[in-house]
Amino acid sequence: MTQENGGAMRETKKIWVTMTGLPLTVKLDWPFHASTSGADFWVLHGDIRLEGSDGLHAPVAVNMSQTVKEVMPSLEPKDAEAPVINALRKEVDRRQIEFLKSGKLLPVPFSSRHYDFKRQQWIFGKATDEAMAEFIERKVFWQSKLGGEPRAWIGDPAEAQYVQTTPAHLIELAARLVAAQGLIRIEGEHAEATPGLMNQAERFENARRAAVEELEKKHAFERG
C-alpha cells in the first residue's frame, strides 16, 4: 500500500505488535487449502517479518484443525484473518517461532486451544488494563516509525481479540491512560503519536531488543 505525502508516494504497512513488544508484518497467501498429506486439516502459508531487523523472518504453515474449521463462519480473510494473525502472534509470545534470514517452513497449529466453545469466542490470553495501555503505546509508536502511517487503528477488532477485550475498551484505555499523558492524540477510533511518544524510542527499542534476545536464547538452547 502507498500513501501520498506532500506529493511523494510512500509505502505503508500494517504493523502487528506482540505483547512482548515485537513489531511484525504478516503476509498470508490466501486461500486455505486442504492438506495434501491426507491429514484432516486445512493449511494456509504465510511469512512473518520481524520489522526493524536485518531481514529476519519466519515462513509458516498455519494448520487449522477440522474442529476449528467448523466454528468459522467462512475461510475467507474477512472471517479468518484476525484469529490467524492472533494465533501467530501468540506463538511468537510463547517463543515458539524463530526468526532467521533464511528459515525453513514452520508448521503452526491453529487448533481448539484458541477457542472457548462454551462462550463461543476466541481466546488468546486476557491482558490487564496496564498491559493493554503499554500495548497501545507500542502499537502507535511502531505504526508511526515502521508502518509509514502516523495513525494507528486502536478500535481494530483484531487487536481487541488479541488482548481479549472490546474495541470500545481499548479506545477508552487509550484516552484515559495514554492520551492523558500527552503521548498520543485520539481521533475517533484512531490514535496518532505525539513527539512525546516518539521521543521515548529508546524504551520501545529496548523492549524489542530484550524480546528478540529471549527468543534467540530459547532457540539456541533447543539446538544445543
DSSP state of 97: -
* Residue 54 pLDDT: 87
pLDDT at residue 154 above 50? yes
Distance CA 13, CA 149 (A): 8
Which is higher by pLDDT, 222 or 202?
Answer: 202
User: Which residues touch 20 (CB under 8 Å, ≥6 apart)?
Assistant: 92, 93, 207, 211, 214
Distance CA 60, CA 85 (A): 11
Q: Extract the C-alpha cell encoding 78.
A: 474477512
* Residue 176 pLDDT: 84
* Residue 6 pLDDT: 47
Condensed to tens digits (0 to 9), the pLDDT of residues 62-108 reads 999 999 999 999 999 999 999 999 999 999 999 999 999 877 889 99
Condensed to tens digits (0 to 9), the pLDDT of residues 199-210 reads 999 999 999 999
The lowest-confidence range among 36-40, 68-72, 131-135, 213-217 is: 36-40
pLDDT at residue 123 above 70? yes
Pure H helices in 99-128? none
The lowest-confidence range among 7-16, 83-92, 169-178 is: 7-16
* Residue 223 pLDDT: 65
* Residue 8 pLDDT: 47
* Residue 38 pLDDT: 67
Mean pLDDT of the chain: 90
Cα 178 to Cα 40, 165, 187: the distances in Å are: 46, 17, 13
Determine the Cα angle at 70 with ends 26 and 108, to 5°: 35
At 58, the pLDDT band (50, 70, 90 cuts) reads: very high
Which is higher by pLDDT, 7 or 134?
Answer: 134
Determine the Cα angle at 214 with ends 211 and 215, to 5°: 90
Residue 21: name the closest of 220, 218, 203, 217 by CA.
Answer: 203
Backbone φ and ψ for 136, nearest 5 degrees, come out as: -65, -45
Torsion sign (Cα): 12, 178, 171, 23 = positive
Helix/strand/coil percent split, the chain, to 5? 40, 30, 30
Distance CA 107, CA 45 (A): 9
pLDDT at residue 222 above 70? no
pLDDT at residue 3 above 80? no
Share of the chain above pLDDT 90, in %: 73
The lowest-confidence range among 47-61, 67-81, 174-188, 192-206 is: 174-188
